């Protein structure tokens, strides 16, 4: 498997664990408890700073390459390309709502929870479509030259949580992951 796909698969495994954590925090929120807003905020920042600037643009290169080659199931790749923008907007909307709560704005808890659950649900469905449909097609049909071209164009940066850590920016997330270990 090409190193690009190895990294993307690793990112998906890590994202799944963060989505489980976010769902658990939303369960606490639903139960009327106050979740760790700093932890949630850092998770959303991570999604924006890494997923939306490194991970998704790399996938976009693969999907566009697949579309350019006329691979089967065009609709899958087109849907995934559109979803990347939608996911970014869902993240930003939920993040603004959480910041509103922290700043004591009057917001309905059920609406904020719905935003968070929509983000988790959409990310899980998106990732499942990539893992079960798009990635297998791309792995089967793209050749070494395609993968090398994707690798050459892919944005590069270390993962600030699971790669080269940024413990100041993601302090609460690091502490939580450390406590889990």
pTM (two decimals): 0.89
103 has pLDDT over 80: no
The residue among 134 and 36 whose pLDDT is bigger is 134
Give the pLDDT band of residue 181 (cuts 50, 70, 90).
low
Per-residue pLDDT band at 2 (split at 50, 70, 90): confident
Q: 145 or 170: which carries more pLDDT confidence?
A: 145
Reported as a pLDDT band with limits 50, 70 and 90, residue 7 is: very high
pLDDT of residue 137: 93
- Round the average pLDDT of the chain to a whole number and report it: 89
Q: What is the domain range of residue 100?
A: 3-180
Torsion of CA 137, 143, 146, 150, to 10 degrees: 60
**Cα–Cα distance for residue pair 171/94, rounded to 1 Å:** 20
Domain count, the chain: 1
Residue identified by tokens 């579309």 is 67
CATH number of residue 96's parent domain: 1.20.120.520
């Amino acid at each position: 498997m090409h190193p690009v796909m190895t990294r993307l698969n690793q990112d998906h495994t890590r994202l799944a664990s963060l989505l489980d954590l976010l769902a658990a925090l939303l369960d606490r929120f639903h139960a009327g408890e106050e979740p760790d807003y700093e932890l949630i905020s850092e998770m959303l920042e991570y999604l924006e700073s890494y997923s939306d600037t490194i991970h998704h643009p790399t996938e976009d290169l693969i999907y566009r390459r697949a579309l350019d080659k006329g691979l089967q199931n065009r609709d899958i790749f087109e849907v995934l390309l559109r979803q990347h923008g939608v996911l970014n907007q869902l993240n930003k909307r939920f993040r603004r709502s959480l910041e509103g709560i922290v700043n004591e704005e009057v917001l309905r808890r059920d609406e904020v929870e719905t935003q968070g659950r929509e983000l988790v649900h959409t990310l899980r469905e998106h990732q499942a479509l990539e893992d079960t449909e798009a990635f297998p097609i791309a792995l089967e049909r793209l050749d070494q030259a395609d993968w090398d071209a994707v690798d050459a164009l892919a944005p590069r940066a270390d993962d600030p949580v699971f790669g080269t850590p940024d413990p100041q920016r993601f302090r609460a997330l690091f502490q939580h992951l450390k406590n889990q270990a």
